[in-house]
Structure 1
Amino acid sequence: MSEKQWLHPRKQPRQARAELTRQRILKAAAHVFAEYGYAAGTTNRIAERAGVSIGSLYQYYPNKDAILLELMAGHFDSGAAEVARRQAEELPDTIEGVMRVFVQAAIANHLDDPQLLRIMVEQAPRSQDLMKKVYQFKDARVAYARELLRRYPEVRVSDVDTAARIINASIELVVHQVIAEHEPIDLKRLEDELVAMFTRYLTSA
């Protein structure tokens, strides 16, 4: 069986009722994976939680790998939409304000169930389509960061290209790691500390 057959949805809903069923399956899967983990998060449990027959589930997805991949794609799409929404707003006057926008967007995109986020990162299969989406999302964020860093005279780093990559990778990794941990954290304190750290890095002589 090819990757397309194994990892891709089988049925693209064309009617409102079919789309609602697909959304129920995805929502149920998110809860099941978070509650039981990926290994024990079977399609039978997902179908039961969604209130559909196992046969109906298989009309939409060939296996749980395809379901998890769709959840991951949705996570990246929502992240891209959050970044686009904030880009459309008026930019702050300082690089500290810009860093706060970046950090807030990353935190907002990681407020779903932390256990599900851990499963997405650590256990999800990787398809070519998904990885293409991931790289496109990252490239767009780095390009936007690079453009912004060049607008602010207070930015003192010598290599803006590398700084843009460091900022984006660090925000994504730190926010994911900290929020996915079992110990709860004050999100406002996390935001303030990250903003201070990146601002000092960018503005130091």
Structure 2
Amino acid sequence: MPGKQSLHPRKRPKQVRGELTRERILVAAAQVFAEYGYAAGTTNRIAERAHVSIGSLYQYYPNKDAILVELVDRHLDAGEDALRRQQECGLPDMVEGAMRVLVRVAIENHLDDPELLRVMAEETPKSPELLRKVQEYEGARVAYLCELLGRYPEVRVGDVHMAAQITVNTVELVVHKVIATREAVDLQQFEDELVAMLTRYLAPAG
């Protein structure tokens, strides 16, 4: 098991050139992990794909675990940014619309590459910092959804906070599972079915 320090980048570049090199390494790593899997996605392959020397790669990352942790960190940031942009667009009139926003943001944030999703879910070392970020990410979404559900009179659940937890985790887990499958998926049909399921749970008819 890698030590705590080995899960952190060695340095953050201060110049544009260094940041571009670091970005090339991350892009290359995502491609290599998706193409070869994690075990065969070596730092040598990543360096070759990024067109940098292996020594240059190690100036930024001590190993591929640290690279994968940063890719997951960016994945979480992208989800937060997407949800924030949706929030700024205003609230839908009905809870069904709110569920569609939640589901669509999750789907769009998982479309990069199914193979890479599997690697991130199955192989990422669980550093304390990453686990804390995941918890904060989930907590922020649950808090937002709690506030959101309270604005819709059609919502009828016994415990709004519990309902928000169930909804957030259902969306994240189901979307990840379906998008990461190797089978072709009709994304619009998938979105519609998941939105309908959540809407019936939160706002049952009758």
TM-score by length of 2: 0.97
Aligned to 2:170: 170
Asked if residue 123 in structure 1 is aligned to residue 126 in structure 2, the reply is no
Q: CA deviation at 1:159?
A: 1.2
Q: Counterpart amino acid of 2:165?
A: R
Q: Tell me how many residue pairs correspond in the alignment.
A: 205
Q: Counterpart amino acid of 1:50?
A: A
Aligned to 1:64: 64
RMSD between aligned residues: 1.2
Q: Counterpart amino acid of 1:38?
A: Y
Q: Secondary structure at the match of 1:37?
A: helix
TM-score by length of 1: 0.98
Q: CA deviation at 1:101?
A: 0.5
Aligned to 1:95: 95
Aligned to 1:180: 180
Q: Counterpart amino acid of 1:187?
A: L
Q: CA deviation at 1:2?
A: 8.1
Q: Matched residues in 2 for 1:135 and 1:3: separation?
A: 22
Q: Matched residues in 2 for 1:132 and 1:157: separation?
A: 29
Q: Matched residues in 1 for 2:193 and 2:2: separation?
A: 46
Q: Matched residues in 1 for 2:42 and 2:2: separation?
A: 22
8 Å CA contact retained: 1:3, 1:127: no
**How does 1:99-178 map onto structure 2 within 5 Å?**
99-178=99-178
Q: Matched residues in 2 for 1:90 and 1:84: separation?
A: 11
**Offset from partner CA, 1:70-93 (integer Å, 9 cap, x none):** 000000000011111111111110
Q: Matched residues in 2 for 1:156 and 1:4: separation?
A: 45
Q: CA deviation at 1:125?
A: 0.6
8 Å CA contact retained: 1:47, 1:53: yes
Q: Counterpart amino acid of 2:158?
A: S
**Offset from partner CA, 1:14-59 (integer Å, 9 cap, x none):** 0000000000000000000001100010000000000000000000
Q: CA deviation at 1:4?
A: 4.1
Aligned to 1:19: 19
Q: Counterpart amino acid of 2:100?
A: R
Asked if residue 199 in structure 1 is aligned to residue 199 in structure 2, the reply is yes
Q: Counterpart amino acid of 1:63?
A: N
Q: Which runs of 5+ in 2 are unaligned?
A: none
C-alpha distance 184-2 of structure 1, shift in aligned 2 (>3 A): closer
Aligned to 2:52: 52
Q: Matched residues in 1 for 2:3 and 2:14: separation?
A: 24
Aligned to 1:36: 36
Q: Counterpart amino acid of 2:70?
A: E
Q: CA deviation at 1:124?
A: 1.0
Q: Secondary structure at the match of 1:151?
A: coil
Q: CA deviation at 1:3?
A: 3.8
Identity %: 65
Q: Matched residues in 2 for 1:90 and 1:160: separation?
A: 21
Q: CA deviation at 1:9?
A: 0.2
Moved over 4 A (4+): none
